[in-house]
A and B are shown apart, each in its own frame.
Chain A
């Protein structure tokens, strides 16, 4: 079945550092999304991308929809302690179903 491969699996960074994570697939998608799960809570939508090559920002977060439509990237600039959590990429398949990556667990050291 369709699968999203997300990397890295986990990251341990110092406060103030920039963070990059990505999501790849062998399948083509028309919509990519990025979610964040805070500890003890459910995933919350951060950014949605609808067009190949699109670059969208939400505060210190920037996400890109790869031009091949098979990948997406999320960058966080100048990380702060509240950035801690699990970041999930997701994509909508042709059947309209939302599929998720395995998640990137981010730890930020003050």
Chain B
């Protein structure tokens, strides 16, 4: 079974540019999550999809961030325009159910975003 796949693994962009991150969850996983870790800090929740619907986007920092999951398969996270404080590692995770007790989260390897 293929794991959660994220692309690209690294991205270096200039302030003001646009970047789109992609996540392919494990096949059959309805739940898809985006998290971010700024260096040295905690892994912070950004948002949660159930199939193609945004279930919870309370962690999205501001309206420069736009996440989509058209068709309920892969997801994209776009940052436009990027700011210096957007630098960090963006993780995607997926799970079959919404209950973390019996449906563990599977994380991708992350996209390391550097905004210069």
Q: Which residues of A have CB within 8 Å of B108? A: 42
Residues of chain A from 71 to 110 with CB closer than 8 A to chain B in the complex:
88, 90, 92, 96-103
B100 partner, pick from A3, A4, A96, beta carbons under 8 A: A96
B42 partner, pick from A33, A41, A44, A103, beta carbons under 8 A: A103
Tell me what chain A mostly uses at the interface: helix, strand, loop, or mixed.
loop
Tell me what chain B mostly uses at the interface: helix, strand, loop, or mixed.
loop
Q: Which residues of B have CB within 8 Å of A88? A: 42-43
Q: Which residues of B have CB within 8 Å of A24? A: none
Q: Which residues of B have CB within 8 Å of A98? A: 45, 100, 105
Tell me the bound Cα distance from A9 to B42 in angstroms: 11
Q: Which residues of B have CB within 8 Å of A3? A: 42
Tell me the bound Cα distance from A50 to B109 in angstroms: 27
Tell me the bound Cα distance from A43 to B89 in angstroms: 12
Closest to B3 in A: A42
Mask for B25-50, Cβ within 8 A of A = 1, else 0?
00000000001010011111100000
User: Which interface class (under 10, 10 to 19, 20 to 34, 35 or more) fits B?
Assistant: 20 to 34
Q: Which residues of B have CB within 8 Å of A101? A: 42
Task: Flag if B45 contacts A97 (CB, 8 Å).
Answer: yes
Task: Flag if A41 contacts B109 (CB, 8 Å).
Answer: yes
Q: Which residues of A have CB within 8 Å of B51? A: none
Closest to A5 in B: B42
For the complex, is A45 an interface residue (Cβ under 8 Å from B)?
yes
For the complex, is A56 an interface residue (Cβ under 8 Å from B)?
no
Closest to B59 in A: A97
For the complex, is B78 an interface residue (Cβ under 8 Å from A)?
no
For the complex, is A62 an interface residue (Cβ under 8 Å from B)?
no
For the complex, is B98 an interface residue (Cβ under 8 Å from A)?
yes
CB distance from B42 to the nearest CB of A (A): 5
Given contact pairs A43-B43, A102-B41, a sample of 7 additional A-B residue pairs in the complex whose CB atoms are under 8 Å apart = A3-B42, A45-B104, A96-B98, A96-B99, A97-B56, A100-B42, A102-B40
Q: For the complex of A and B, list the 8 residue pairs with the smallest distance between their C-beta atoms, beginning with the closest.
A: A42-B107, A100-B43, A100-B42, A102-B42, A43-B107, A42-B109, A41-B109, A42-B108
